[in-house]
Amino acid sequence: MMLGYSLTWRFTMRRNVRHSLTAGRETLSAGISIALCAASLLLDIAAVSLAADPVQKSPYGISPVRPIAVKYPNDQGIADDPEVVFADDFESWVKGGTEPNVGRWSVRKNKTSRTTVVRGQVTSNRLRGPGKGILEIACWTQGSGSQVGGLSLKLGNYNHANEGLGDGYDELYIRYYINFDEDYRAVRNHGANLGGRDLKRSSAAWVGMAGIRDVSTRGYFYSGVQPRGDSGSDELEMGFYSYHLDKKGPWGENYEVLKKIPIRMGRWYCVERRMKLNSVDYHKSDPANADGIEELWIDGKLTIRKTDVRFRRIEHLRIALFSLETYYHGLPEQYGRNHPIKVYFDNVVIAKSYIGPMS
């Protein structure tokens, strides 16, 4: 009889336990194997389970289809893709770069911030981006209080049900490039919120409203994507700050980071997020199913994935507002009017499927 070999892998889906891999050889007396070698491995099951997920086969971490950006080198023409909801490359702003020429951005204007298009382009080792304009959000302190600058965009009816902007979305992807100024240092901040309001309730809170434990009592939800780091540090990490039904306290939840990618100053990064709202089953005592998804990619690499998020108990509460903004809880004195803290953005795309970095 032929001699055979066997390979067994004792495998469980529990995190951080040992898994044994054994190679064996059959002897002439069939049915008896001897172990030739064995090894045990400590595996990160979170990473393994992502690789095993059939929708996770692309190098981008998700999407069973081609990323939208692959079809549009340098993003040229991407705004016209049927999956794209909105796009801005900040090349057509008018009045000295202070007002958008297309789209529905609303620009923050106050005494402690400046939101304008300035000269610049996305660059990296592999990429010299198109165009000449990038968005700059500059904020400064006048001694006390908070500072906020940036843009917001309605993606559906938001102020009231008759705005004519549609019902919003149950799922969206947002991609943009971000660059923290060389003089940026870690400071408490919030921003880049994505959320919605229950327009059947006159008292529904606004996206970004903080300090509410159970968001359902105020008919809204949102989740921010923002940098964090030790105060004064020149190294940041991008993460979520989510106002969902199950967060523990009055503030937003920072999801666990699966893959740490340090963010340095003066460098462009491609930031992408996905928000999929949970399904709703009105036959259950609590209609909110734990199947909402939030994901984050940096330069095309999946860094955060949470798949049990509950944002809503009613289906008509949908994604209706995106803010590309920075909100600081009191900037240090060094960031005065003549030396503001600055963050740059470019190539914003909002779509119904995975976008991907510029190709």
Q: How many degrees, rounded to 5, is the angle at CA 271 between CA 155 and CA 215?
A: 50
Nearest of 141, 113, 292, 269 to residue 215 by alpha carbon? 292
Q: How far apart are alpha carbons 189 and 73 in whole angstroms?
A: 33
- The single residue among 131, 156, 229, 300 that binds Ca ion, judged by CB under 5 A, is 131
Residue 89 in contact with Ca ion, rule: CB under 5 A: yes
What is the rounded end-to-end Cα distance, in angstroms, of the chain? 56
- CA separation for the pair 247, 215 (Å, rounded): 9
For Ca ion, the closer CB: 49 or 98: 98
Q: How many CA atoms lie within 13 A of 292 on its CB side?
A: 28
Cα atoms in the Cβ-side hemisphere of radius 13 Å centred on 199? 19
Nearest-angstrom CA–CA distance, 227 and 12: 35
Q: Is 268 in the site for Ca ion (CB under 5 A)?
A: no
Shortest distance, CB of residue 336 to Ca ion, whole angstroms? 28
CB 203 within 8 A of CB 220: no
Region binding Ca ion by CB under 5 A among candidate stretches 63-71, 127-135, 144-152, 333-341 = 127-135
Q: Which residue has the tokens 């304009």?
A: 133
H or E stretch covering 103: none
Residues between 205 and 244 with contacts to Ca ion, criterion CB under 5 A: none
Q: Among 150, 197, 346, 350, which residue interacts with Ca ion (rule: CB under 5 A)? A: 346
What's the min distance (Å) between Cβ of 179 and Ca ion? 12
The one among 61, 67, 100, 133 contacting Ca ion by CB under 5 A: 133
**Residue 88 near Ca ion by CB under 5 A:** no
Closest CA to 81 of 195, 158, 173: 173
State in angstroms the smallest separation of the CB of 76 from Ca ion. 12
Is the CB of 184 or the CB of 345 nearer to Ca ion? 345
Q: Which of 90, 243, 269, 328 binds Ca ion (CB under 5 A)?
A: 90
> Shortest distance, CB of residue 309 to Ca ion, whole angstroms?
32
Residue 150 CB, nearest approach to Ca ion (Å): 16
- Distance (Å) of CA 328 to CA 142, 145, 192, 214, 349: 13, 9, 12, 24, 25
How many residues make contact with Ca ion (CB under 5 A)? 5
Stretch that binds Ca ion, among 11-19, 129-137, 179-187, 333-341 (CB under 5 A): 129-137
Specify the stretch interacting with Ca ion by CB under 5 A; choose among 43-51, 109-117, 130-138, 319-327.
130-138
Least CB distance to Ca ion at residue 343 (A): 15
Are 72 and 159 within 8 A, CB to CB? Answer: no
Shorter beta-carbon distance to Ca ion: residue 17 or 94: 94
- Of residues 35 through 54, those in contact with Ca ion by CB under 5 A are none
Measured CA to CA in angstroms, residue 354 lies from 28, 61, 70, 78, 303 at distances of: 54, 10, 11, 13, 15
Question: How far apart, in whole angstroms, are the C-alpha atoms of residue 130 and residue 126?
Answer: 13
CB of 132 to Ca ion, least distance (A): 7
Closest separation in Å from C-beta 256 to Ca ion: 33
Residue nearest to Ca ion (CB): 131
Location of structure tokens 């066997």:
6
Output the six-digit token pair for 356.
């991907």
Residues that bind Ca ion (CB under 5 A): 89-90, 131, 133, 346
